[in-house]
Amino acid sequence: MSAVIETSGLGKRYRRLWALADCTLSIPAGHVVGLVGPNGAGKTTLLNLAVGLIAPTAGTIEVLGGAPAAGQAQLARVGFLAQDAPVYAGLSVADHLRLGARLNPGWDAGLARGRVGRLDLDPGQKAGTLSGGQRAQLALTLAVAKRPELLVLDEPVASLDPLARREFLADLMEAVAEQDLSVVLSSHLVADLERVCDYLIVLLGSRVRVAGPVDELLATHHLLTGPYRDPGTLPAGQQVITASHTDVQTTLLVRTTGQILDPAWTVSEVSLEDLVLAYMSQATGRRDRGGRRHLEVRK
């Protein structure tokens, strides 16, 4: 399968601070890819580089086989929804659709009108008076109706309330199902990603910690609970992601393609959220299972 985004040694520096450094990754096509990591991991920088809003300081990035924002054709192939979904406050909903129609040769007017009608957006209403959820929906409509091959969404639901968040994601899924779209979507909210993504990339400190189809990740990670044991004595092929111990008990998150045969372990499934948090806490060297707290500290 070809890659929608491929980077090599990619870096971006703002004055003296590196927002993204030495990032090498490949995002496959045909997936809804969740890009997850704490704030500061470089997600926004990576996505802005991918749509060509900023230029890399180091390394290379290819999007759909071309340089980001290299020309009109490349721009037409990639849809982007920036953080907080900015829209022109003084322009009405209808004006935004007209903007999309005028500036995009591949504009699907029927799709755009249909979406606006379905979402109960008043075409005459100024975009500045829309609620956060409606604004995000309008911006998504613009991004989808230009009929891109790749849709890039940067924290699309971060500022929405839970209901608006659910509606937005359901709507996004509908658009993805209707069109043959690859989607890359960043978030630090794993629960949202779990609902929509079939491929996951955990990015931390510019580095890919783990990447793969969600099904596969869930099938190969297990939570083991049992009597105290040194993780070093596990069989080969069982990679320990996190380990925590009490005096008598050991809890391990292991990655293995094989079966867990040792009867001493109580094996349980891991949720995607546990899995992500485990990788994040592993990366920062924290061993506590309060990974959730760790995420919030990061916010």
Partner 1 sequence: MIWLTWRQARGQAVTAAAALAVFAVLLAVTGPHLASLYAASGITSCHGGTPCDTAASHFLSRLAGTSPYPVVYLLGIALILVVPAIIGMFWGAPLIARELETRTFTLAWNQSITRTRWLAVKLAATGLAAMAITEALSLTYAWWADPIGKARDLAASVPGLAHPFTGGPLSSWVFATSGITPLGYAAFAFTLGTAAGALIRRTVPAMAITLAIFAAVQVAMPLWIRPHLIPPERTVVSGPSFFESAGLSVGTLQATTVPGQPSAWILSSGAINAAGQPVSTIPAPCLSSSAGAVGKGAPPNAGACMASRGIREAITYQPASRYWPLQWIETAIFLALALALAGCCFWRTGRRRTRRAQSPSATPRQDTVAASPRRGSRA
Residue numbers of the site for partner 1 (CB under 8 A)?
11, 13-14, 17-22, 38-42, 44-45, 48, 51-55, 57-58, 69, 71-73, 75-76, 78-80, 82-84, 86-91, 95, 98-100, 102-106, 139, 142-143, 146, 204-207, 284, 298
Given the complex with partner 1, which of 94 and 218 has the nearer CB atom? 94
User: Shortest gap between Cβ of 151 and partner 1 (angstroms)?
Assistant: 11
Q: CB of residue 48 vs partner 1: minimum separation in angstroms? A: 5
Least distance to partner 1, CB of residue 40, Å: 3
For partner 1, the closer of residues 58 and 267 by Cβ is 58
Least distance from partner 1 to the Cβ atom of residue 272, Å: 22
Q: Whole-angstrom Cα distance, residue 233 to residue 237? A: 12
Indicate the residue among 105 and 162 with the shorter CB distance to partner 1: 105
Residue 242, Cβ neighbours under 10 Å: how many? 22
**Would you say 14 or 228 has its CB closer to partner 1?**
14
What is the DSSP pairing of strand 17-28 with strand 3-14? antiparallel
Place of tokens 């299972």: 289
Cross-strand bridge partners of residue 240: 254
Is the Cβ of residue 42 or residue 133 nearer to partner 1 in the bound state? 42
255 Cβ contact partners less than 8 Å away, ≥ 6 residues apart:
220, 221, 238, 239, 241
**In angstroms, rounded to a whole number, what is the distance separating the alpha carbons of residues 207 and 213?**
18
Minimum distance from residue 133 beta carbon to partner 1 (Å): 17
Alpha carbons 276 and 256: distance in angstroms, whole number: 16
Three-state DSSP at 201 gives strand
Q: How far is the CB of 229 from partner 1 (least distance, A)?
A: 31
Closest CB to partner 1 among residues 34, 100 = 100
- Check: CB of residue 278 under 8 Å from CB of residue 217: no
Nearest of 90, 116, 120 to residue 101 by alpha carbon: 116
Contact 167, 174 (CB under 8 A): no
